[in-house]
């Protein structure tokens, strides 16, 4: 895995209270086939606001991505397959890179998420990285069940909450350090295989079952597996993450009028970015008469 430099600091006006942008480790999970499409969109929009705190975890080297992000592109040596082992491999790489960083908060995102850094700082400012904090949006309206292996080929059912990785979630440094015996290096994959569940479920399992922690549910995180149309216009700027994709065989995006058409901006991320950052150079400027 490529060495990471954590020396860069950003002077940012986004801090809220005692929490500064420089204290965040923002991990984006992607794969080679989405470097041009998904990552290109994120680099053009929200990553441009937090480039110094964003680390992209992928499976193949990419000169163009490397030129834009430097050593914040992390080649994981994980498989490019969309499988439990491959996803768990990348999550372990994210987790270990965060522990090395010394930063206060670990926030995981997928490459189809839009992050609002101001909303994230406002949310995390309510908590301390010296507390055990695991915050995100539950994927289900009930705890998930897993089967733990017992001696003599026996199993035991266990139940726990988890934050869906597709919406993003954050973990405090104190809690992350406690997770290391089950989440660091090969241990994450071993834990995931033990319960036969994907990476985001495994995070919840470690925190709730191994450490007796609890998920702090937040409705400010969103994945493409929920109806994004219902988020009303005035609420859009308050959300921590948003997404886009296909849900129930239909394009699932936020409802936002202009400044770009759905044809020019199918994800609606560019239009959202111009709503949040109207002075962006490529955003249409209002005509002053």
Q: Catalogue the active-site residues.
A: 200
What number of CA atoms fall less than 13 Å from residue 239's CA on the CB side? 25
The distance between the two most distant Cα atoms of the chain, rounded to a whole number of Å, is 80
- Number of helical H runs and strand E runs in the chain: 8, 13
* Alpha carbons 137 and 243: distance in angstroms, whole number: 13
Q: Give the residue from 217, 170, 234 showing the smallest Cα distance to 25.
A: 170
**Three-class SS string for 36-92?**
HHHHHHHHHCHHHHCHHHEEEEECCCCHHHHHHHHHHEEECCCCCCCCHHHHHHHHH
Q: Give the residue from 223, 227, 162 showing the smallest Cα distance to 191.
A: 162
Q: In the structure encoding, which two tokens stand for residue 273, read together?
A: 């970015």
Q: In the structure encoding, which two tokens stand for residue 136, read together?
A: 């995100």
Quick one: DSSP state of residue 193?
Answer: H
Q: How many residues does the chain have?
A: 289
Question: Residue 166, exposed/middle/buried by CB under 10 A (0-12, 13-18, 19+)?
Answer: buried
Q: In the structure encoding, which two tokens stand for residue 199, read together?
A: 């990476």
* Alpha carbons 21 and 10: distance in angstroms, whole number: 8
For the beta carbon of residue 69, count every other beta carbon within 10 angstroms: 20
């Amino acid at each position: 895995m490529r060495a990471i430099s954590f020396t860069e600091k950003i002077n940012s006006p986004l801090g809220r209270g005692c929490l500064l942008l420089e204290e965040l480790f923002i991990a984006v999970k992607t794969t080679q086939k989405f470097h041009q499409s998904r990552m290109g969109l994120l680099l053009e929009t929200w990553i441009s606001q937090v480039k110094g705190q964003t680390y992209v975890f992928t499976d193949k080297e990419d000169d163009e991505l490397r030129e834009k992000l430097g050593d914040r592109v992390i080649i994981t040596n994980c498989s490019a397959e969309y499988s439990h082992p491959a996803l768990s491999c990348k999550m372990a790489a994210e987790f270990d890179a965060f522990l090395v960083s010394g930063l206060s908060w670990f926030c995981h995102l997928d490459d189809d998420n839009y992050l609002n850094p101001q909303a994230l700082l406002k949310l995390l400012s309510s908590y301390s990285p010296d507390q055990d904090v695991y915050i995100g949006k539950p994927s289900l309206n009930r705890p998930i069940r897993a089967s733990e292996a017992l001696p003599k080929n026996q199993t035991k059912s266990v139940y726990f909450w988890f934050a869906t990785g597709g919406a993003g979630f954050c973990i405090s440094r104190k809690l992350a350090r406690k997770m290391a015996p089950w989440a660091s290096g090969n241990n994450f994959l071993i834990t995931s295989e033990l319960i036969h569940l994907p990476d985001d479920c495994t995070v919840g399992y470690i925190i709730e079952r191994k450490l007796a922690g609890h998920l702090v549910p937040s409705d400010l995180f969103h994945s493409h597996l929920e109806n994004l149309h219902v988020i009303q216009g005035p609420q859009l700027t308050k959300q921590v993450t948003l997404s886009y994709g296909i849900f129930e065989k239909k394009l699932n995006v936020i409802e936002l009028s202009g400044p770009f058409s759905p044809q020019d901006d199918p994800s609606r991320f560019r239009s959202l970015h111009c709503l949040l950052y109207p002075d962006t150079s490529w955003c249409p400027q209002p005509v002053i008469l």
